[in-house]
Amino acid sequence: MRLKYLVICDIGPFRGRHIFDFSEKSDHSGYAFFAKNGRGKTTIYNAMKWALFGTVRQKSKLVNSTVVEGKNRPVVDENDKGTMLMNLDAWMDDSPQSMSVLFVAEGNFGELQVQRTASSKTLARRDKDLDFSLSVSIGGRSFQDEAAEEQIAMIFPSELERFFFIDGEEVETYTTMMKSSTNGIIDDIKSILRLPSLTRGVEDLKAVRRSYDEAIDADSKRQLRDSKRADKARNIQGQLTTVRKQVTELEDEVKRLTLRRDGFNEKMSQYDELKLFADEKIAIDAKIELLESSMKSHLETFIKDFSEAGNIILWKRMQPIYESLAEQNDANQSRQFRLDQLRNEAGKLKSTIDAFKSICDKCHQPVKNAEEYLEQRRKEYNDILTEIKSHESSGISNPKALRLKLNALQDHFQPSNGSLARLKRSYGDYTGQQQQYLDLKERQGRLSELVTEDSAKEIRDLATKSAQTSQALLKKEKELKAAKFREDELERSYSNARPKSTDSNQIDTVFELRDIIKRFIVGIEDTVLSYSKRATKEVELEASKVFLELSNAPEAFSGIKLNNQFKARIYGSDNRPVINPSSGMEVMMTLSIIDALRTVSRLDAPVFFDTPARSLDKDHKNGMLDYFWRKDRTQFLIFAHSGEFTVEEIVENDLASFRKAWELFWPVDLVDQCIHCWSHDVAHVSKNENSCNECEKITDKRKHQTNAKLVDLTNGGI
C-alpha cells in the first residue's frame, strides 16, 4: 500500500489546509520531514494516527519493564492547551471550529480515502462539545462512522499500530523490553505475528466450551431435579388427562342439553295460544293445591271447635235445669249452714241453763233475779229448737244426689266459655275458604274444557321437561366451569412441575458441540504453537538479515535469536550471545526485529518513523536510512529533528535516495523569505513583519504557524 496524499487542516501548528503529495510513483520509498522542535513533524505523524485510529496518545512509559500507554490527547481542551491537537488560532478564532485530516492511499483494494473531522458550531471547550465524523471510501465504496472504523481496522489493525507508526523516542523502551522479554513485547510480537486473533479465538472457544461444560453440569443436576419433578408432573398429567376428558364429556353434555332444551322450547311455542289457558290452569291447580293445604289446617281447627256443637245446642235446654239445681244446691247449703249455727247456739244455751245456780260461789249470796234470767234462757233455747225443726223439715231429702247431677251436667254437657264464638269464627273461616275453593274448582273445570287433558299434559310435560333440562343444563354448566377451572389449575401446576427442558437432543447437541470445540481448541493451540515456532524462526532469520545489513560490522555477528518468550539477543559470529552490546547495536536490533516482524506478518502499510535517529550514532543512522530507503521497499517516512538529520547532511553523504522531503518552518525560521510562497522578494513592513511582493501576504515572525516547504532534491534525490 502506498500513501498518495495527506491533507491536514488546522491541526497543531498547521493553520488552514496543508497538502502533502506522495502520489508520484517511484522505486524509492523514502520520504522525510525535517524541522526544528515544535514545527509540526510529530503533528503530521500524529495527524495520520488520528485519521486512522481516532486517537493520539501521549508518549508511553516503561514502568517496571512494562509499557504503560500514555493518555489520549484531546482535540480541544481549554484547561490543557499544550496537549490539544487542534490549531490554537483555529480554536480561538474560527466559527465553526474544525480540524480534519484526509488520508489517501492506494493498495490492492483500490484507492483508500479516510477523512476524519472534529468540528463544532459553537466554542468547544472539551472533546465532548465536538462532533466527530469519519468517512471512508475503499475502492469506490463509502462507509461512515462505525462501519468506516471497521474498514480501517481491517487494513490497519490497531494492535499493529506500533509497527508502522514507530516512535524513535520509544525504540529504547522497545529495546529494553526485548532484552528483558517482558510481557509487553510478547504481546506486541504476538500482535505482529497475527497470533492474538487465533489466541483470542482459542480463549473465546474455551469460554464457549466452559459454558457448554456448565450447561452439561447444570443439565445433569437438572436431570436429577427433573426426575423428581417428572414424577410429580406425571401425577398431575394423569389428573389433567382425567379432567380434560371430563371437560370434553361435559362440553358434549352441555351441547346436548342445550339442543334438547331448545327443542322443548320450540315445541312449546306451537302451543302458545293454548299455553295461556294451560298456564292459568296450572296456576289454578297450584292455587287449589295450596288452598287444600290451608283448608286442611283450618278444617282441623274447625273440627276441634265443632266438637262442642252438641253441648252448645243441648245447653240451651240444660242450662235452666242446671241453674235450678244449682239454686237448690245453694239453698240447701245455706240451710245446712244455718242449722249448724243454730245447733251450736242451742248447745251453748243448754249448757248455760244446766250450769246455772241461784247462790254465788264466791260471796255465797243469792243471785238477784235468777229465776227471770233462767226463764229467759230457756225460752231462747226453745225458740232455737223450733227453728231447727223447721229447717230440718223443709230441706231436700238427698243433697248428695243433687250435687252428683250438677257435676254430671257441668262435666259432660256444659260448653266451655266462648266455645260458640270460636265455633262460628272457625266455621266462617273454613266456609270462606271452601267458597274460594269451589270457585277455583269451577274455573278449573272450565279451563279443562278449553285445554284438553292431552294437550295440557303435553304442555305440562314439555314445560316440565324444559325446566328439568334447564336445571340439568345449569348443573352441567356449573360442573363444566368447575372442571375447566380445575383444568387451568392443573395446567399451571403441570407447567410449573414439568422439567423445563426435556429436549434430550439439545443436550446431545451441546455434548457434540463441546467435543467439536475441544478438538478445535487443540487444533488451534497446536497451530498457534507450530506457527509461533515457525514465525519466530522466520522473524529470527529476517531480523538477523536486517541487522547484519544495518550493522557497520556484519562480520562480527551471526544474527539475532529469540527464545520462547521472544527475548532477543544479538549473537556473535561465534554463535554466542554478545555480552554488553552497544546501545546503537541494541537499537539496530530492535529496528531489525520490528522490520522483520512487519515483513513476516505481511503487513502492507507505510512506515512512519518519528525521530528515527535518536540515540544512534552517525554510522548507525546512516545505515538505517540506507537500509530502509532502498528501492522496492514499503514507503518509509521519517520525521527527523534537525539534530538527527539535515538535508545538507543527507545530500552530502549521498543518502538522499528518497522521493520527497519537506522542511517545516515557522516565520521566525525564515530570513527575508515569505512563509506562504517561499519568495525572497519581501519588504520589511515592521519589526516582525515582512510583506511578500509576490503573493502580497504578510509573514509575521511572532506567529507559530508552520508551513511546509518541499525540499529541492534535484541534485541529491532521484
Partner 1 sequence: MSDLAIKDGTLEISKEAHIFLEELEYNPKKQVFDKIKFFGVNQKNDIFKLGFSIGYVMKLEFRDSDAASRMTIAPRGFAYDAYRTFLEDEAVQRKMSIGGLLSAYANAGLLFLKEHLENGRDIVDLFD
Q: How far is the CB of 483 from partner 1 (least distance, A)?
A: 47
Residue 302 in the binding site for partner 1 (CB under 8 A) = yes
Cα diameter, the chain: 217
State which of residues 6, 152, 155, 423 lies at the interface with partner 1 (CB under 8 A).
423
- Closer residue to partner 1 in complex, CB, 311/468: 311
User: In degrees, to the nearest 5, what angle opens at C-alpha 116 toward C-alphas 113 and 118?
Assistant: 160
In what order do the strands lie in the sheet containing 2-11? Answer: 14-21, 2-11, 97-107, 110-120, 131-138, 141-144
Residue 61, H or E segment = strand 61-63
| Footprint on residues 89-108 left by partner 1 (CB under 8 A) | none
Nearer to partner 1, 437 or 571 (CB): 437
Among 269, 307, 565, 693, binds partner 1 (CB under 8 A): 307
320 binds partner 1 (CB under 8 A): no
CA–CA dist 565, 584 (Å, integer): 23
Cα(624)–Cα(603) distance, rounded to whole angstroms? 20
d(CA 512, CA 504): 12
- For residue 303, state whether it binds partner 1 (rule: CB under 8 A): yes
341 residue type, one letter? Q
317 touches partner 1 by CB under 8 A: yes
Could you say which of 53, 109, 143, 413 contacts partner 1 (CB under 8 A)? Answer: 413
State in angstroms the smallest separation of the CB of 320 from partner 1: 11
Distance in Å, CB of 258 to partner 1, minimum: 41
Scanning the structure block, which residue is given the C-alpha cell 450447561? 215
Based on the shown chain and the rule CB under 8 A, indicate whether residue 437 belongs to the binding site for partner 1. Answer: yes
Neighbours of 108 (CB within 10 A): 7
Calculate the alpha carbon distances from 225 to 235, 499, 511, 664, 692 in Å: 16, 8, 20, 77, 91
What is d(CA 219, CA 228) in angstroms, rounded to the nearest whole number? 14
Peptide bond before residue 196 is cis, with ω within 30 degrees of 0: no
The cell numbers describing 65, all together, are 519493564
Size of the site for partner 1 (CB under 8 A): 37
Choosing from 84, 409, 507, 638, the residue that interacts with partner 1 (CB under 8 A) is 409
Binding status of residue 438 toward partner 1 by CB under 8 A: yes
- Of the candidate residues 6, 44, 189, 318, the single one contacting partner 1 (CB under 8 A): 318
Determine which residue in the list 186, 314, 374, 513 makes contact with partner 1, applying CB under 8 A.
Answer: 314
Q: How far is the CB of 310 from partner 1 (least distance, A)?
A: 3
Minimum distance between the CB of residue 414 and partner 1, rounded to whole angstroms? 11
- Would you call 120 helix, strand, or coil by DSSP? strand
Chosen residue from 88, 282, 312, 668 binding partner 1 by CB under 8 A = 312
Site string for partner 1, 281-300 (x = CB under 8 A): ----------xx--xx--xx
Q: How far apart are CA 59 and CA 70, in angstroms?
A: 5
Query: For partner 1, which is the closer residue by CB, 411 or 453?
Result: 411
The Cα–Cα gap between 24 and 17 comes to: 21
The DSSP line for 330-376 is: HHHHHHHHHHHHHHHHHHHHHHHHHH--SB-TTT-PBPTTHHHHHHH
Selected from 109, 143, 306, 373, the binder of partner 1 by CB under 8 A is: 306
Q: Write the binding mask 352 to 391 for partner 1: x where contact by CB under 8 A, - elsewhere.
A: ----------------------------------------
Q: What is the nearest approach in angstroms of partner 1 to the Cβ of residue 456?
A: 21
Cell of 210: 466452559
Cell, residue 555: 562480520
316 binds partner 1 (CB under 8 A): yes
Please report how close the Cβ of residue 418 comes to partner 1 at its closest, in angstroms: 13
Residue 412 binds to partner 1 (criterion: CB under 8 A) = yes
Which residue stretch of 222-230, 400-408, 457-465, 543-551 sits at the interface with partner 1 (rule: CB under 8 A)? 400-408
What is the rounded distance in angstroms from the CA atom of residue 123 to the CA atom of residue 90?
A: 11
What does the alpha-carbon distance between residue 455 and residue 274 come to, in Å, rounded to a whole number?
A: 8
Q: From CA 265, how far away is CA 252, in angstroms rounded?
A: 20
* Interface with partner 1, residue 713, by CB under 8 A: no
Nearer residue to partner 1 within complex by CB, 343 or 405: 405
Smaller CB distance to partner 1: residue 237 or 311?
311
State whether the Cα torsion 517-519-522-526 is positive or negative.
negative
446 part of the interface to partner 1, by CB under 8 A? no
Q: Label the pairing between strands 660-665 and 30-35.
A: parallel
Is residue 444 a contact residue for partner 1 (CB under 8 A)? no
What's the rounded Cα separation, in Å, for the pair 563 and 67? 20
Q: Which of 430, 557, 629, 645 contacts partner 1 by CB under 8 A?
A: 430
426 makes contact with partner 1 (CB under 8 A)? no
Q: Which is nearer to partner 1, 306 or 520 (CB)?
A: 306
* Half-sphere exposure in the Cβ direction for 279 (13 Å, CA): 7
Q: What is the torsion angle, in degrees rounded to the nearest 10, for the CA atoms of residue 652, residue 653, residue 658 and residue 659?
A: 20
Among positions 374, 420, 480, 651, the unique one binding partner 1 when judged by CB under 8 A:
420
Q: Where are the beta strands (DSSP E) in 392-433?
A: none
- Position 678 contacts partner 1 (CB under 8 A): no
Among 286, 404, 529, 710, binds partner 1 (CB under 8 A): 404
Options 255, 424, 631, 702; binder of partner 1; rule CB under 8 A: 424
- Does 539 bind partner 1 (CB under 8 A)? Our answer is no
| Contacting positions for partner 1 (CB under 8 A) | 291-292, 295-296, 299-300, 302-303, 306-307, 309-314, 316-318, 321, 404-405, 408-409, 411-413, 420, 423-424, 427, 430-431, 434, 437-438, 441
